[in-house]
Structures are given as structure tokens and as C-alpha cells.
Amino acid sequence: MIQLLQKLAEKEERIGIGLMSGTSVDGVDVAIVSVKGAGETMSYRELAFENIEIPGELRERIFRQFDPGASSVDALCSLNFELGEMFCKAAESVVKKHGFRLADIDFIGSHGQTLYHIPVAEPGLVRSTLQLGEASVMAEMFGCPVVSDFRVRDMAAGGGGAPLVPYVDYLLFRSEFESIALQNIGGIGNVTYLPAGCSPSEVVAFDTGPGNMIMDEAISILTKGQAHYDDGGRVASKGSADEEVLRELLANPYFSMSTPKSTGRELFGVAYTRELVGRLQLKGLPDADIMATVTKFTALTIVDQYSRFLGGPVDTLIVSGGGAYNETLLGYLRELGSFEVKTQEDYGFSSDSKEAVAFALLANETLFGVPNNLPSATGARKPVVLGKLTM
């Protein structure tokens, strides 16, 4: 093992795969990257990216396991290996499609599929997190080191296990002259704030609240499962948000909770959205107004959290994730915020691939033994090397 890692470290350029399945469970993001160096000297090129759709039947079973009352230990056991196989097949298909061989891949970084996340202890439950997608299955197919289960070491060091991407954001986007907020809008929204000329200890990062999660579930409810997301925010663009409801929603205790903090489906998932949509329907709101309300809610939480917790101005907001393609959501951000709104594409990157790329780069750091969490973002007591290594 030591000889293999030493040989890998001696390569001038390494080809890695980053794998990510988010809280929306709509597909596996697969990024192939070329990486040089490590730490603050690291540089990379994105070689390929694809989103591989998760089969509907498997997606339904994953969602069943999100519910503590419906999950079962045998189903979780099986699902862990099934997801490992799914990540393998997704990665293999992208490798072959873009002209690579399995033997060309030097390492894999897999975030896995989050099943449950408890960043703050609850009655009878300790702080913990669970991601599935067995790394050994991937190591067996590709014959290369696999770094997985990134969150748990940060939590062991007293952190919340998220967000983890800010380490990569700091390496790639920090500026001496401009204060930048990088907002990922996946199922959950999370921000990395880089004050002008900041050091790693000055980076601010946390989950702002719901991202696409409520919007996606709402459109699914309203269309009886015919649509899984509001494409481009088109339905929302035809409606008007209920401002009274928005003020009430913003009173959720999460938004006043001090940082660092993280959240997930446990708070803003299916049950939350069903109750909210039912409430709006009882008020007589048409579908377009319901979608406008939940879309503006996501934008409002982002801007609200900036004003409460960033501690400084934002010159430029750079949006990534699926939310970057929701023009209505971006419009609300421009309306509510006092900053320029851009997307990753404005910088030559991809809004879709950002997190998958990030986990490939985090894996690269792990292989070099470089601490790759930011305690200022996660609340950990100290910087630690994230992930479990499977050879």
C-alpha cells in the first residue's frame, strides 16, 4: 500500500474521478479530472463530466430509507452495496464514453449518498452521519485507491461534517481585492464566503437552508409526480410569492442558529414540503403562486443568512448546482441582494460538475496527507485529513 501511494505521489499528473449524489437523488455526478500538486500549489483540469440518471425504482427505495420509520437494517445493508455498484457503473460509463480506460484512473473520491445526517445531538441520538456506497466495490472494479466517507473524520474532530467544499473554494477562488460568496444550490443551499485577502481561518461557510429540495418536492406534489423540478423556474415565473407566508417561514429556528451549521432532508424534506404546500393550497393559491413562494423562499434564506452571518460585504455571488439554471431563482437573488450574481459558467467552470470535481480534489489531498477541512466552516477543533482509504 505504501509503495503504491508513493508511486502515485511521484506522478507529475494524476487522473482522478469525483463522484457525488446529492440530497435530490436525481443522478450521479461523475467528473474526471487531471490534478497536479497538492495543497496551495494544486492545479487541475476538468477532462469530462456527466450526470448519470439514477433508475426510478432505485431512487424510490433510497427515498424510503430516508424515513426512519420505514427504513430497515437489511435494506440499508443491501443498499450500501447496490449504491457502490451504481457508482461503479456510472463511473465506468463516463470513462469509456470519453475515451479512457479503467487502468488510466489513478484514484477515486466518492462522497456517496447521504442517508441521514445528525450534526447536533438529539434525545437518544449522538452527532453522526451516514453515507452509503461501498468503496470496496469501486476499488475492486477500478483497481485504484478510493477515498470515501469524507464527513465522519470532521465530525470526530468536533465539526458538523459539512460543508466540505469550502476547502476547494478557498484554493481556487480566493482574491486579494474582491469579497466573493460561492453559493451552491443543490438539494440544500450552502455558501463559502471568501473575504478579500482572507486566510483559511477567515473563510466563512455553512448551509444557508433549503436549495432545490423544497422546490423539487413541491412541483412533484403539484404535478402528481409528472415533474421532478421546475425547469428554468418557468412555473414560478408566472406566479406571485405570498409575502406573509415567507415572513413566517423565515422564523424557522434554523435561520437564527449560529454558525457553523449544517442541515438536510431531515428538516426541509418531504414532510416539511407537504405541510407547506397543503397550507398554501388551503389559502387558495394557484400552482404558479405556490412555486413562486417556495422559489423566493430559497432566495430569501440565502440573502437573509448572508446579512446575519457573513460579517462583511459581498461583491460577487457565484452560483453553482442545479439552482444555477433556475432563472426565476437567480432573478429573486438579484432583486433581494446588493451584489453581482454570476454562475460558474461565467468563470469557465460548470455549475453541474463543481461538487463532483471538489471530491476528486479532496481525495487528492487525502492521498497526500494534507488536512482538507476548514474548521472555520465546519466547527471542527482542528484541521484533519478527511476520508477513508480503500485499496
Going by the annotation, the residues of the binding site for ATP are 22-29
| 309 Cβ contact partners less than 8 Å away, ≥ 6 residues apart | 204, 206, 258, 259
Looking at the DSSP bridge assignments, the partners of residue 15 are 34
DSSP code string of 116-144: EEESS-BTTB-SEEEEE--HHHHHHHH-S
Per-residue cell: 52: 448519470
What single-letter amino acid sits at 241? A
Where is the binding site, in residues? Answer: 22-29
Distance between CA atoms of 190 and 161, rounded to whole angstroms?
Answer: 13
Helix (H) or strand (E) holding 26: none
| SS3 state of residue 108 | strand
Cβ atoms of residues 131 and 65 within 8 Å = no
Start-to-end Cα distance in the chain: 7
With 0-12 / 13-18 / 19 or more C-beta atoms within 10 angstroms meaning exposed / middle / buried, residue 90 is buried
User: Beta 340-343 vs 316-320: how paired, if at all?
Assistant: parallel
Region of 17 (left: φ > 0; alpha: ψ -120 to 50; beta: rest) is beta
Looking at the DSSP bridge assignments, the partners of residue 110 are 19, 148
Distance between CA atoms of 39 and 380, rounded to whole angstroms?
Answer: 19
